[in-house]
């Protein structure tokens, strides 16, 4: 079956440009998470959606970061006026709202390089 997909896989942006990163979760998964993974570090939480509602955005590092999931499936993470410190791998994960362990299934990530 299809897993979580993300696009693009790689993105190079010049400082100051806007970027949009897309996540297609597993069909039927209600919960969707975005994480940021800096080089050599573990992923860090950015934001969470339950269906189309953004219930937690406490991890977004600045107001340049914006995420949406308008129809409760595909999600887009947008970064405005990119800075070099935004360079990282952005991971998307989805999970069923029901289940014992609420396992999160991760996509392959988008590697963003800001030059």
Partner 1 sequence: AQKITQTQPGMFVQEKEAVTLDCTYDTSDPSYGLFWYKQPSSGEMIFLIYQGSYDQQNATEGRYSLNFQKARKSANLVISASQLGDSAMYFCAMREGVGQAGTALIFGKGTTLSVSS
- Rounded to 5°, angle at Cα 50 from 56 and 97: 120
φ, ψ of residue 45 to 5 degrees: the values are: -65, 135
- Dist. CA 3–CA 11, nearest whole Å: 21
Residue 66 or 80 with smaller CB distance to partner 1 = 66
Is 65 near partner 1 (CB under 8 A)? no
Query: How far apart are the C-alpha atoms of 51 and 12, rounded to whole Å?
Result: 30
| Residue 42 binds to partner 1 (criterion: CB under 8 A) | yes
Query: Would you count residue 104 as binding partner 1 (CB under 8 A)?
Result: yes
The answer to whether 1 and 55 are in contact (CB under 8 A) is: no
The HSE-up count of residue 85 (CA atoms within 13 Å, CB side) is 4
Question: Does residue 102 belong to the site contacting partner 1 (CB under 8 A)?
Answer: yes
* 90 makes contact with partner 1 (CB under 8 A): no
Contact between 31 and partner 1 (CB under 8 A)? yes
Residue with Cβ nearer partner 1 (50 or 73)? 50
Question: By CB under 8 A, is residue 107 in contact with partner 1?
Answer: yes
Q: How far apart are CA 51 and CA 28, in angstroms?
A: 10
- Based on the shown chain and the rule CB under 8 A, indicate whether residue 59 belongs to the binding site for partner 1: yes
The binding site for partner 1 (CB under 8 A) comprises 30-31, 33, 35, 40-45, 48, 50, 55-56, 59, 89, 91, 93, 95-98, 100-109, 111
């Amino acid at each position: 079956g299809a897993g979580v997909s993300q696009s693009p896989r790689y993105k190079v942006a010049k400082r100051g440009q806007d970027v949009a990163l897309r996540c297609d979760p597993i069909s039927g998964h209600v919960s969707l998470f975005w994480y940021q993974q800096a080089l050599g570090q573990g992923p860090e939480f950015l934001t969470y959606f339950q269906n189309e509602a953004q219930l937690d955005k406490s991890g977004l590092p600045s107001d340049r970061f914006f995420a949406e999931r308008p129809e409760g499936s595909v999600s887009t993470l947008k970064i405005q006026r990119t800075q070099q410190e935004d360079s990282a791998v952005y991971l998307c994960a989805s999970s069923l709202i029901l289940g014992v362990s609420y396992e999160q299934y991760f996509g392959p990530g988008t590697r963003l390089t800001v030059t």
